[in-house]
Structure 1
């Protein structure tokens, strides 16, 4: 991925984390998955859901897809707790330079470094960029 595109994606992700109702952190999961690997990207998103839910300590989470709710775009997803449908994470799936980048936002009470290390260990992940 070019340095310019990577810097632009980082800056946009950081801007979305600006103070709101809850304090958020984020990460960009740069994958090795090409544009034709939609199923693998979905499977990776499910695996990332499990990792983030575990680090957030909120119990099991399910994925609500953007195409299930008109308030989200088609490549936007949320992880919600099974018990109470509380926010765990939100994600946007982007195709950049031929591979998918998955941008995740989550509450700031997680160990960001440990989470990034666990995400980087998943199959299909090239690297993880932490966004404060």
Structure 2
């Protein structure tokens, strides 16, 4: 059973969580500024103060720019390196214009559902 007290507690904790996250974000920004100055921008670093150790890790991900890469591979006559994929916008337009029917694409569409809980205090 859900009670008013449970909703009030959820609301209170959620507000505290937002305040804590804001304070954590400020501290993280200060730590990044410190490391930017001490070891350089986008460089990993570490500092020990008493019984605490602060580290900055850097994760790098690389991704090819789709348009530029396709253009370059076409110029190099390497179509086998270009992957085809469905154009969702065009598919939705074709469905709306009834060029294709939903049953034509049965089993092709996957759906992700995410549930969220929201509690707000209502002022009387």
**TM-score of Structure 1 vs Structure 2, range by shorter chain:** under 0.3
Q: Which has the higher contact order (CA 8 A, sep 6+)?
A: 1
TM-score (norm 2): 0.24
TM-score (norm 1): 0.23
Is the helix fraction higher in 1 or 2?
A: 2
Is the strand fraction higher in 1 or 2?
A: 1
